[in-house]
Amino acid sequence: MNSHTTSEKTSTLHRIAELYTHDCLPDIVELVDQVHTAVSCDVLPLITTLSAEDVADLLEELIYVAQETLNELRQRPAPKAQRRGEPILHLLPRDAPSDQIESDAS
C-alpha cells in the first residue's frame, strides 16, 4: 500500500467518523426492521422505489459486510478500556498461605 492510498484511507475514515455518531448503528438496525415490516405487510413499494430483488441484494450485501465486521472484531483483543470491568482470575497454588490470598485480593 503506497502513501497515497494510506492517506486516502485515513481521509475516508475521518469522513465516516464525522458522519456517523454513536447513535447511528441503532438507526441502521431500525431501518432494516422497517424494511422487514414493509415486506411482512406486503407494502415495500410504500417505503422504497427499489425492487424487491434490489432490496434483497442490498440486504445480502449488508449481511456479508456485517458478518465480516463481526469476524474481524472477534479476532482482535478488546481495548483496555473495554476490558477494565472484566474480573481477573488469579490462580494460586493449592498450598498458598492465607495471607498471600488476602494481599492479592486488595
| Residue 29 counted as domain residue | yes
Count: domains in the chain: 1
Higher per-residue confidence, 78 vs 60: 60
pLDDT band at residue 65 using 50, 70 and 90 as cut-offs: very high
pLDDT digits (tens, 9 = 90+) for 12-49: 777 777 766 667 788 889 999 999 999 999 999 999 99
Alpha-carbon distance 91 to 89, whole Å? 6
| Residue 67 counted as domain residue | yes
| Residue 38 counted as domain residue | yes
Quote the pTM value.
0.56
Query: DSSP string covering the chain, please?
Result: --HHHHHHHHHHHHHHHHH--TTHHHHHHHHHHHHHHHHHTT-GGGT-SS-HHHHHHHHHHHHHHHHHHHHHHHHSPPPHHHHTTS-------TT--HHHHHHHH-
| Residue 35 counted as domain residue | yes
Domain residues for the domain of 46 are 16-71
| Residue 22 counted as domain residue | yes
| Residue 96 counted as domain residue | no
Q: What is the mean pLDDT of the chain?
A: 79
The residue whose grid cell reads 415486506 is: 39
| Residue 100 counted as domain residue | no
| Residue 53 counted as domain residue | yes
